[in-house]
Chains A and B, each alone.
Chain A
Amino acid sequence: MNDPSNHTKGAAGVSRREFLRGSGAGVAATALAHAPGVGLLEADTPKAKTDAVPAIGPAPATVKLTVNGAKMTYAVEPRVTLLDLLRNHLDVTGCKRVCDRGSCGACTVILDGKPVYSCTLLALEAQGREVKTAEALAADGRLDAVPAAFVKHDAQQCGFCTPGFVVSLRAALDHNPKATPAEIEEALSGNICRCGTYEQMRHAIADLCGKKGE
C-alpha cells in the first residue's frame, strides 16, 4: 500500500497540477499551504529537505504520530484528514465525524496541548505530533473530573457530541484552571449538541469551576 518510490520524487517529479488531480480535494491544497513545509514526511523523504516544496502523494504517505500515548504509524493518501486517519485506520473512534467541515466540534482532539478540529487538519499535519482524544480522559480506568462532572449532572443524552465537548472543556481548564463559567461557555461555543444538553452542561460547568477544574 505504501510504495516509497511514489513519494520520493520531490517537487521536480510531480507538478502541482498532478498533485491536485491525484488528491482530488481542494481542501488538501489549502490545508497543505498552512502546514509546516519541512518534516512532513520525516525520514521517508530525504529529498524533501533539499527541494523547495515537498511533493506528497497521490499515493499513500506514511504518518507517524502519538495517539493517547501510543506511537502509531500508518500510510494514507495525503487528502485523508486527521479525523479519518484516527477513525477509519487507527480505530480511535472517540472523536466523531459529524459536520466534517469545522462547524460542530464533535471531532475535537488535543494536538500538542491545543484543542483542534481534527476534520480540518490533514493527517500529514499531525506528523510527529501528539494527539489526545476523549479516550485519554479515562486512562488507567480513572475518570477525569470533566467526564465525571458530565456523568454526575447528566450532561449528555445521545452522547455523540459529548466527547468533543469534554475534550474542549478539558483543554479550556488546562489552559486556565481558574476559568469562570462564562469563559468556559465561550470555550465551548465551537461545539454543537442536538439533543439539548446545555442546561445540564451548565450544572457540570458550575461544579467544575467551583472545584477549580481539579
Chain B
Amino acid sequence: MPNTWPKERRLLGTRVQRLDGPEKATGRARYSLDVNRPGMLHASILRCPHAHARIKGLDVTAARKMPGVKAIHVIVVPTETGTVVKADGNAVVVTVGMGDKAKERTLKVGPGLWLFRESKVVKPTDLQADDRITFQVEEEAVGRELFYAGDEVAAVACDTEEHAADAVRAIKVEYELLDALVTENDALANDLKTVPPFGNKNDRNNVRLLKEEKNDDIDEAFKKAEVVHEGEYGAATINHHCLEPHGLVAEWDKDGGLTLWASTQAVAGVADTAAKVFAVPALKVKCITHYMGGGYGSKFAPEVEGITAIELARKAKAPVKLFLGRADEVVLGGNRPSAYAKVKIGATRDGKVVAYFCDTWGTPGIANGATVGPLPYVYEFPSKHTRVSAVRLNTAMMRAMRAPGHPQSCLLTDCPLDDLAAKLGIDPMQVRLKNLPENDADAAKNFPQSYNAMRHTLYSEQMKIAARLSDWEKRWRPPGKGERKGPIKHGMGMALHTWGGQASFPNDVQVTISSDGSVLVESSTQDLGTGERTVLAIVVAEVLGLEPKDVTLHIGESQYGRSGGSGGSTTCPGTAPVAYMAALAARDDLFDKIATRLKGKKEDLAIEPGKIVDKGANKKYPWKEACARLGMDTVIGKPAANDAALKQGVSELSNVKVGGVQVAEVLVDTETGVVRCTRVVAVQDCGLVVNKLGCESQVAGGVIMGVNYALFEERVMDRHTGRQVNADMEFYKLGGIKDMPEVVVHMYDMPERGVIGIGEPPTISTAAAIGNAIFNAIGARVAYAPYTPERVLEALVKA
C-alpha cells in the first residue's frame, strides 16, 4: 500500500457540505437525548447540596412509595463481590476477600439488599452455594463522605420525568457538614485539607506544588536582562456547557445484552467500560452515538450518571433514560480549570528574551493535576524557572476542555511578552519574531515536514499572513495610542499557539462495494459535529472516483470495531488514513474480481471520476456497469492488518503538531469598561486539509469559543454555601451572534504534512490575542480573563 496521499486530489481539500447537514438542520437527526424506547423510564439523581459533608442517615422508604417509582439506586454504596456460602429468604451468607483476608459476611435480606449474578438481579432464594455474586447494601451509605455540591447520592427511575423529580425529593438524607473550600484564594489563605485523599500518603492538602523546574543560571540571567517586566495573568474556571447534556439511555435485553444510546466522544470506550463494570461479555454491549450535541473533551466515559442509568435499568428491568439537567450539566459536566500566575520576564534591549519566571496555580477541583500546559508556550527562552501548583477545592473535577492547558499557557506567555514589548517600545510582532524557536536541523534530517524542522519558518510565514489580513503594519499603534472615537479606543493584539493532533490508533474502517455500485463505510468512530462522517466519505469517494454523497456511512456504533475517543484532535488524522487504505483495498479487490469478467487484466484497470477504465483495451465502463460484473460477489476492503504506514504515527499520511497565529481587534469603552471584539484573523495549519468548508468552520468555532473565554465566561462559586451561583444560561454568559466578531479564517494548507487534527488548536490563542488587544487599546493590562467591564475599569484606575 502506498504511504502517501494522491498527488492529484479531486475532492480532498475542496469545500464539501456535511452529509448529515439536512437531517441536523431540520431536527430530524436523532441525538441520544432524543431516543425514546418503548416502556422507557426516566431517571433523576439526588445530589449532595453541600460542598463537603458526611452522610449521617439515608432513608428511601418514602421515595419507594412515590407514584411511578420503578427502581431506586443508592449511588454512594459500593458494589461488592462475594461467594455464596448459604442463602435463604432471610439472609445470605457470603465469603468476601481473597486468601488470608477472606471473611464471612451475613447480608440481611430486605428492600435495601441487591444481589446480582452474571450481571442480572437475583433473589436470595435463587442462589446456591459457591455462586459468585455481586451485591449492594443500601445501609452502607451511612458514613460516606461527599466532596462537592453536586456529588451523587442516590437515583430513582420512574414512569415519567415529573414523577422522577418528585420521587428524588422524597429521599431523606441527613448530612454532617464538614469544612469546605471553593475558591482558590480561600484555600491559599488557609489550607483546611478538605479534599479526597490523594496518593499513598493519604494527602488531603488543598494546595500542592506539582512541579518546579529551574535553570541554574536563572538569577544570573535576570541580572543580565536589560529590561525586566513583572505582572499577573490568568483566567477563571469555565464550564463546558455542552448543549446536549451528559447521559445515556440504557436497555438490557433478555439475553443479558446491553444497548446504550450515549452522548459520548468515545463510542467504543463507553461500551468497553460498561462491559467491565457490569461484567457483561464485551461483544454483548453495544454503544450508539449517531449524533452528539457537544463534548469539547468532557464526554469520554459513561461517568456516574451513565453507570447509574445502566444500574437502574437492570433493577427496574426496563429501559432507562438518564441525562443531566442543565444545572447539573454545568456544575459537574466538566470545567476548564483556572490558571493564575505571577510572571517575570527579562530581555535585552533589542527584544530577545533571556529569562522567564512563572509561578502558576489553578484549581482542578477535587482532582489533582496541573491546570496549565507547557511553559513558556511556543517560544523557547534560554533560562527559565517555573512553579506549577494545584489548588484542590470542593468543586467538581476538571475535565479536558478543547486543548487542555494550552489556552492558559498561552495567556501566561503571550501576554507578558506584549507587556515586555511595550516596555521596550518595540512592536510586539517583532518581539515574537525574535523569540521564535529555531528550525531544528536534526528533526529536518529525519522528517523535513515535521513541526520541529519547520517551526520558525511556519510561524514567520503565518505571522506575515495574519499581519497582512489584519493590516497590522498600518493599523497597529503603540499601547494607548490607537484610533479613538470619544471614550472608545481601538486596539490590536496577537498570539501564537501549537497543538499535537497526532493520529490515534487503532481505528477500524471497512469499505463495502455492492454489485449495484453502492458503497458503504463502517466505523465505530463518532461525529461530534466535527464533520467526521463527511471526512470518511470524501476520502473513500476520492479513491473510488465517486462523489461523497454516493457513499453511505454507518458510524457511531461500537459493533463496527475499534476506534479511539474523539479527543486531542486525533480523530480525523486517525481515521482518514485508515479509510484511505480501506478504500484502496476495496478498489484492488474490485479490480481482482471484475478484471476477467471485463475480459481485461487487473493491472490495466484504473479509476476515473464515475468510471472504471481498462487501459489495455482502451475501454471505459460507468461505475455501476463495472460493479454489476460482481454478480453475486461483494467487495470488502480493510487495511492490511498492522499496516506499517498506519502505525507510524508520523508519516506523510498523518503528522503531528500544528502552528497557528491569531490577531484580534477590540473596541474598549473606557467609560463603561465594555469590550467589544470586532474582528479576529486566524491563520491555521493542519497539514493536508480534507474538507476546507469543515476546517474553516472548526477554526471559526474555535475562535468564537475563545472570544467567550476572553470576555464572558466564568464559573462563580459562592464561598459560603459552596455552590456555583451561575449554573444556568442566563448568569453564565455565553455570547450570542451579535456579540461575536467577524472571523477571518486562513487555512495554511500544507498537504505534504499529511492529515493533522484541527479541533483544538484554533481556540487556544484567541483569549491571549484579545487580552493583548485590550492592553493595546487602553495601555493598561487587565490581569485575568474574562475581561469584564469591572476588571477593565479596575485596570484603568490602577494604570
Contacts and interface: CB of A to CB of B under 8 A. Distances in A.
Interface of A: 24, 77, 79-80, 84, 87-88, 91, 93-101, 103-104, 106, 133-135, 137-138, 143-144, 146-148, 150-152, 154-163, 166, 185-186, 188-202
A84 B25 CA distance: 20
A106 B165 CA distance: 22
B230 interface: no
B25 A96 contact: no
A166 B29 CA distance: 14
Nearest to B295: A158
Interface in B290-305: 291-294, 296
The binding surface of chain A is classed by DSSP as loop
Given A87-B34, A200-B697, A158 B244 contact: yes
A188 B708 CA distance: 17
B326 to A, nearest CB: 5
Nearest to B740: A198
B702 A160 contact: no
25 contacts: A96-B293, A98-B729, A100-B325, A103-B729, A134-B25, A137-B26, A144-B26, A154-B17, A154-B696, A155-B697, A157-B697, A157-B701, A158-B292, A158-B293, A158-B528, A159-B24, A161-B243, A188-B737, A193-B737, A194-B705, A195-B529, A196-B700, A196-B704, A196-B740, A201-B737
Contacts of B31: 93, 96, 160
Contacts of A143: 22, 26
A190 B738 CA distance: 10
B243 A194 contact: yes
A135 B24 CA distance: 10
Contacts of B296: 194
Contact of A189 (B18, B293, B702, B737): B737
A143 to B, nearest CB: 5
Contacts of A101: 326, 728-730
A185 B294 CA distance: 23
Interface string B683-700: 000000000011011101
Contact of B18 (A88, A98, A154, A166): A154
Given A137-B25, A185-B738, 4 more contacts: A93-B36, A137-B26, A196-B740, A202-B737
Nearest to B763: A196
A157 B691 CA distance: 14
B716 interface: no
B532 to A, nearest CB: 11
A192 B696 CA distance: 20
A109 to B, nearest CB: 10
B22 A151 contact: yes
Nearest to B534: A154
Contacts of B166: 24
Contacts of A95: 27
A154 B26 CA distance: 14
B21 A154 contact: yes
A160 B738 contact: no
A24 to B, nearest CB: 6
Nearest to A160: B293
Contacts of A151: 17-18, 21-22, 25
Contacts of A94: 26-28
**Residue from A96, A188, A189 having most chain B Cβ neighbours under 10 A:** A96
A138 B22 contact: yes
Contacts of A133: 27
A138 B462 CA distance: 42
A119 to B, nearest CB: 10
B6 interface: no
Given A138-B28, A195-B529, A96 B243 contact: yes
B606 interface: no
A135 B701 CA distance: 25
**Residue from B27, B31, B166, B745 having most chain A Cβ neighbours under 10 A:** B27
Given A98-B729, A101-B728, A194-B242, A156 B24 contact: yes
Contacts of A93: 27, 30-31, 33-34, 36
B740 A159 contact: no
B737 A159 contact: no
Interface string B524-563: 0000111100000000000000000000000000000000
A199 B700 contact: yes
A79 B162 CA distance: 8
Interface in B119-168: 160-162, 165-166
B162 A80 contact: yes
Contact of A186 (B26, B242, B738): B738
Contact of B704 (A98, A163, A190, A198): A198
B643 interface: no
B730 A103 contact: yes
**Residue from B162, B292, B737 having most chain A Cβ neighbours under 10 A:** B737
B736 interface: yes
B432 interface: no
B556 to A, nearest CB: 13
B582 interface: no
A16 B160 CA distance: 24
B703 interface: yes
Given A88-B161, A157-B529, A100 B326 contact: yes
B212 interface: no
Contacts of B20: 159
Contacts of B226: none
B734 interface: yes
Contact of A158 (B294, B734, B742): B294
Contacts of A192: 729, 734, 736
B241 interface: yes
A161 B243 CA distance: 7
A20 to B, nearest CB: 14
Interface in B2-34: 17-18, 20-22, 24-31, 33-34
Nearest to B163: A77
Given A94-B28, A98-B243, A194-B734, A152 B17 contact: yes
Contacts of A84: 161
A200 B160 contact: no
A162 B704 contact: no
Contacts of A199: 697, 700-701, 703-704, 740, 742-743, 745
Contacts of A104: 243, 729
A159 B29 contact: yes
Nearest to A93: B34
B160 A77 contact: yes
B259 to A, nearest CB: 18
Contacts of A135: 26-28
B728 A99 contact: yes
A160 B32 CA distance: 11
Contacts of B730: 99, 101, 103
Contacts of B742: 199, 202
Contact of B25 (A88, A99, A162): A162
B607 to A, nearest CB: 28
Interface string B306-340: 00000000000000000001100000000000000
